[in-house]
Amino acid sequence: MRPGYADYDFIDRSIDDLYRAASECFNEWIGRQDGVTNLSKWVNFHLSVYRKYFQPDVHADGLTEAAARAISESNLYAMDTLKALADLVCSGRRDAQGRVSTIKEEAAVKHAEFQARLMGVINDVRSRIEKNA
């Protein structure tokens, strides 16, 4: 045990394993500038600016719906994945680590999908702002 780190370990080792697995799966989502968490904030910011300074239109409403759908689906995916990780890691199954690796790969694919959807909305809003400015 490293000095100064003992307070950060859980009493139940399986919770430490769950935290490690969840971190491996979702670190890119949460910790990166282009992660889904940050892009979700930026897409809402861009849409707010557009609504404030430009006339509302059907296309902008569609972008708002597309952003909300992508954010909602990413949240549902994260929650479902965290539940699956909890069940898997806390089950004590021998193949748990291999399955965690598979889930991590799936999470990376889903992250790229949600990134692309959110960036699509951001880029669309930016181009509409540039046209109307």
> Domain range holding 64?
6-132
Please determine, for residue 16, whether its predicted confidence score (pLDDT) is greater than 80. Answer: yes
Q: Answer for the pair 126, 50: CB distance below 8 angstroms, yes or no.
A: no
Q: Answer for the pair 49, 124: CB distance below 8 angstroms, yes or no.
A: no
Give the residue from 106, 121, 90 showing the smallest Cα distance to 24.
106
pLDDT for 70 equals 98
What's the whole-number mean pLDDT along residues 1-26? 77
Taking CA atoms, 70 is separated from 36, 77, 101, 114, 128, in Å, by 10, 10, 24, 6, 20
Query: Does residue 1 lie within any of the structural domains?
Result: no
User: What average pLDDT is seen over the chain?
Assistant: 89
pTM of the model: 0.86
More reliable by pLDDT, 91 or 63: 63
Query: Does residue 11 lie within any of the structural domains?
Result: yes
Query: Does residue 83 lie within any of the structural domains?
Result: yes
Number of domains in the chain: 1
Q: Answer for the pair 21, 91: CB distance below 8 angstroms, yes or no.
A: no
